């Protein structure tokens, strides 16, 4: 079985049924590529050939149309003057119909010609180079910048639709519409443009009416975008507030954990101090027992009791250390008891959390007040008075 020779330039090579591609380098001559290549991305040089072919076809169309019109006018001039005859009187409705047909054909020629000129202007602008565009327009086609921009806008918006030959409501309407109306419609997004054409009689609608309708549509869209931005801002603010509350809860939890750890630490300190006090008391009892034994021995021996200065000093030191240790133990135990009660009291926890939240909101309130005061001192003063009244009411309640 002969091996298939694939054209590595062609995006349609895998689906093409040809055994061997003989169109490499000139793929546009292949009927299958010519029909399907553009939709699949195409080959750059062949798509350039396609555009040039379409441009030539369009030029030939206008040239042939011009020759036909010229020949018709020439024939009319050569024909002998008709003999005077009495023409039948036509109904006004017939005349109006003919006028509207000519008017529609004129508009179509005008619309397509304007779009074609816009495409040519786009091509010329890319060719003349930066800084030469305005002079080129003036010297070669006698267009102002604004006129050229309007024609190029028409080409950018509608050129592809008319060249592709795809018929839809918008294409049909543009083909029979004055360029001024087409420019107005170009301000809308494609979907808006389609809805407008489908819901309005664009042929009979005046340019002024269309301009006003489009202004209303654009204003509605801007308002919709503004409302969406506002809702997005509210959602963002709500998210930030939620994050702030989560952070506050996390901080409160962190403080509660630290408080519990401190409670445990205080309990350990109280136990250690109690043991220390017990040890010191034992030493003191031992020293006092030693002193008492010495006194009893001296009394039995009927000798004068002489105080032992070392023992007295030791006893005094131990008594002082016992008193200090008991004082520290009582203080730590009292702190431990209060913290334990506070931790077990949900009302106290809620009160502390509310106080912290009030402190945070007060700081934010002062920041907003400073911002408002810079723009509206009188309005800020009214808010300040209301806040002071709230604070005064709070003081009376406490």
| Domain range annotation of the chain | 352-398
What is the model's pLDDT at position 184? 85
Residues in the chain: 398
Q: What percent of the chain has pLDDT over 90?
A: 2
* Assessment of whether the complete model's pTM goes beyond 0.85: no
d(CA 92, CA 110): 27
What is the model's pLDDT at position 121? 92
Q: Examine the pLDDT at 351 and tell me if it is beyond 70.
A: no
d(CA 4, CA 21): 9
Segment among 39-53, 79-93, 141-155 with least mean pLDDT? 79-93
pLDDT interval class at 303 (50, 70, 90): low
pLDDT interval class at 77 (50, 70, 90): low
What is the model's pLDDT at position 250? 66
Do residues 198 and 169 lie in contact, with contact meaning Cβ atoms separated by under 8 Å? yes
Q: What percent of the chain has pLDDT over 70?
A: 81
256-264: Cβ within 8 A, 24+ apart: 256/343, 256/349, 259/339, 259/342, 259/343, 260/343, 262/339, 263/336, 263/339, 263/340, 263/343
Is the model more confident about 151 or about 254? Answer: 151
Mean pLDDT confidence for 42-71: 80
What is the model's pLDDT at position 79? 60
The residue to which tokens 């135990």 are assigned: 333
Segment among 104-108, 115-119, 203-207, 327-331 with least mean pLDDT? 104-108
Would you tell me how many other CB atoms lie within 10 Å of the CB of residue 312? 12
What is the model's pLDDT at position 263? 65
Q: Examine the pLDDT at 108 and tell me if it is beyond 80.
A: no
Q: Examine the pLDDT at 249 and tell me if it is beyond 70.
A: no
């Amino acid at each position: 079985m002969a091996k298939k020779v694939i054209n590595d330039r062609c995006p349609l090579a895998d689906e093409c049924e040809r055994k061997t591609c003989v169109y490499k380098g000139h793929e546009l001559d292949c009927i299958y590529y010519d029909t399907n290549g553009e939709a699949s991305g195409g080959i750059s040089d062949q798509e350039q050939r396609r555009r040039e072919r379409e441009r030539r076809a369009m030029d030939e169309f206008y040239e042939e149309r011009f020759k036909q019109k010229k020949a018709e006018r020439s024939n009319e001039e050569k024909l002998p003057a008709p003999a005077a005859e009495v023409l039948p009187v036509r109904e006004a409705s017939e005349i109006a119909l003919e006028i509207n047909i000519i008017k529609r054909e004129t508009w179509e020629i005008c619309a397509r010609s304007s779009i074609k000129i816009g495409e040519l202007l786009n091509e010329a602008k890319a060719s003349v180079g930066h800084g030469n565009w305005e002079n080129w327009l003036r010297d070669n086609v006698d267009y102002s910048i604004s006129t050229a921009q309007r024609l190029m806008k028409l080409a950018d918006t509608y050129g592809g639709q008319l060249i592709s030959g795809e018929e839809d409501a918008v294409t049909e309407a543009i083909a029979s519409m004055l360029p001024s109306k087409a420019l107005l419609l170009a301000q809308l997004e494609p979907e808006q443009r389609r809805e407008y054409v489908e819901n309005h009689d664009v042929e009979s609608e005046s340019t002024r009416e269309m301009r006003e309708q489009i202004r209303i549509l654009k204003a509605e869209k801007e308002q919709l975008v503004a409302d969406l931005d506002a809702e997005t801002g509210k959602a963002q603010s709500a998210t930030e507030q939620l994050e702030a509350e989560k952070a506050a809860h996390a901080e409160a939890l962190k403080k509660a954990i630290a408080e519990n750890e401190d409670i445990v630490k205080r309990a350990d300190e109280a136990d250690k101090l109690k043991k220390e006090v017990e040890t010191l008391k034992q030493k003191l009892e031992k020293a006092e027992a030693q002193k008492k034994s010495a006194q009893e021995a001296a009394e039995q021996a009927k000798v004068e009791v002489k105080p032992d200065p070392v023992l007295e000093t030791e006893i005094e030191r131990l008594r002082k250390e016992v008193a200090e240790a008991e004082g520290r133990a009582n203080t730590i135990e009292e702190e431990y008891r209060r913290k334990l009660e506070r931790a077990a009291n949900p009302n106290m926890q809620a009160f502390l959390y509310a106080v912290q939240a009030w402190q945070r909101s007060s700081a934010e309130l002062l920041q907003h007040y400073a911002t408002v005061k810079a723009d509206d001192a009188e309005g800020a003063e009214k808010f300040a008075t209301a806040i002071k009244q709230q604070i005064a009411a709070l003081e009376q309640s406490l």
